Amino acid sequence: MAYETITSETQGAVTLITLNRPEALNALNSTVLGELQQAFAAFEADNSQHCAVVTGSGDKAFAAGADIKEMVDKQAADFFLEDFFAGWNDMTAKTRKPWIAAVNGFALGGGCELAMMADFIVASENARFGQPEIKLGVAPGMGGSQRLTRAVGKSKAMDLCLTGRMMDAEEAERAGLVSRIVPHDQLMDEAMKAAQAIAGMAPMAAMVNKELVDAAYETTLQQGMLHERRVFQILTATEDRKEGMAAFVEKREANWKGR
């Protein structure tokens, strides 16, 4: 599929989606959203694809935010009637397969929010994260105030949202926003290697692991534990559970059926 503002390609069982507006630091406009929605839907529907990586083109940015030039002349009623930004969360909420954000530079505003929608973030040592919307007279609109607070706690989320400052990859990793930092020139290798490893797992188990960790944000500990236990028990009915355990005992590689 040919896109205008992103690229999407498959490498084995991994879909690599690249935000491709380097001249605008990969700012996220409605064309990007429409194309990402198509790319995510294609990834989700393709039974040969088991994990995705999203990154930004160029050396400078993952995405420097929602496209300010697209927003500058809009009226409040337009934002409200279009339910502006709702599509981002809808798109990622519909994606049951795992995906990774490979953050190669600025991840600001909507860029930071898109990265936080991923199941985890692998960051280049050049990555910079922030929610600078306050400097534009607004506030985050794609989940920044909510997801950042859950990821790094109140104090740092307040600091970032209220001052609009950026944090570097080291600070982001210390704060728990980022799962690993890698040298800039190894970012894509490492992110793709992680994605290939995930894509090599039993597919339903990968989807269920994602669902369970996500559920931890939405529920109480006791309800979450019960949900986890029941899901574990149900997963034992799959062919892949029998294969996975038999392969361990027989000291061989598992041959997943995805059933």
Query: Active-site residues: which are they?
Result: 66, 110, 113, 133
**Helix axes 110-117 and 144-152, enclosed angle (nearest 10):** 60
Residues ≥6 apart with Cβ < 8 Å to 227: 212, 215, 219
Task: List, in sequence order, the alpha helices (H) in the chain.
Answer: 30-45, 68-71, 76-81, 86-93, 110-117, 144-152, 154-163, 169-175, 187-199, 203-215, 221-235, 239-249
- The reply to whether 69 sits near ligand CAA by the rule CB under 6 A is yes
Total residues in contact with ligand CAA, by rule CB under 6 A: 22
Q: Which stretch binds ligand CAA (CB under 6 A): 19-27, 36-44, 184-192, 244-252?
A: 19-27
CB of 116 to ligand CAA, least distance (A): 11
- The reply to whether 35 sits near ligand CAA by the rule CB under 6 A is no
- The DSSP 8-state label assigned to residue 74 in this structure reads -
Length of the chain: 259
- Rounded-to-integer distance, Cα 89 and Cα 66, Å: 14
CB of 139 to ligand CAA, least distance (A): 7
Residues numbered 125-154 forming contacts with ligand CAA, rule: CB under 6 A:
132-133, 136, 140-142, 144
Specify the residue, 17 or 27, whose C-beta has the smaller distance to ligand CAA. Answer: 27
- The reply to whether 105 sits near ligand CAA by the rule CB under 6 A is no
Binder of ligand CAA out of 64, 91, 121, 148 (CB under 6 A):
64
Selection from 101, 35, 31 nearest residue 66 by Cα: 31
List interacting residues with ligand CAA (CB under 6 A).
24-25, 27, 64-69, 85, 106, 108-110, 113, 132-133, 136, 140-142, 144
